[in-house]
Amino acid sequence: GAGVSQSPSNKVTEKGKDVELRCDPISGHTALYWYRQSLGQGLEFLIYFQGNSAPDKSGLPSDRFSAERTGGSVSTLTIQRTQQEDSAVYLCASSFERGVKETQYFGPGTRLLVL
Amino acid sequence: AQSVTQPDIHITVSEGASLELRCNYSYGATPYLFWYVQSPGQGLQLLLKYFSGDTLVQGIKGFEAEFKRSQSSFNLRKPSVHWSDAAEYFCAVQGGADGLTFGKGTHLIIQP
């Protein structure tokens, strides 16, 4: 069956530009998670959605980062005015429900390079 | 707040030899523990997970892990590694119903 998909797989942008990263979760999964993987920080949890709601946005690195989810499915992570320190791999994961015993299934990631 | 430590950044093992990757966690209550593997250019694949019960858990690809509460450890093992096991391995803990907290990862190199 189809897994979590992310697009684009690679994105190169110039400092100061806005970027949108997309995540398509596994069909029927109500919970969706965004992570960032960088050399300096390792794997960091950014934000999760239960349905279309993101109760806690405190994990987002700065106010340039925002995320939304529509229709309980696709999610976009938007980075405004990108900086070089935003260069990283952005991973999306989904699970059937939100809960400590729910396995998170990861997508292949979007590799973002800010020049 | 929970945390995960993977003491070994790199490990080199000969093909056919046994493997143990170390993971220590810090969490005040019952932890939910995971091992994920990431091959180059790939996303994270779940190898195994521990929630409760038997402290020795079996996973995919011949991996197993043992939960030791007294040592706050959840080490990953495999009796005989294959060249295809070369990858990055991440231990993770989930304390709440939110995101996973990952260790920094261990890079596994397989020598022929």
DSSP annotation of A53 reads: B
Taking 50 as the pLDDT cut, the residues of chain B under it are: none
Give the β-pairing of B10-14 and B56-58: unpaired
Q: Å from B43 to nearest chain A CA? A: 4
- Among A5, A106, A110, A111, the strongest candidate for a mutation testing the B interface, having the largest count of B CBs within 10 A, is A106
At A71-82, the pLDDT tens digits run 889 999 999 999
Q: State pLDDT tens for residues B25-51.
A: 998 777 899 999 999 877 899 999 998
Whether A108 and A52 have beta carbons less than 8 Å apart is answered as no
Q: Chain B within 8 Å of A42 (Cβ-Cβ)?
A: yes
The string of pLDDT tens digits covering residues A8-21 is 999 999 999 999 99
Q: Could you say which of B36, B94, B102 has the minimum Cβ distance to residue A100?
A: B94
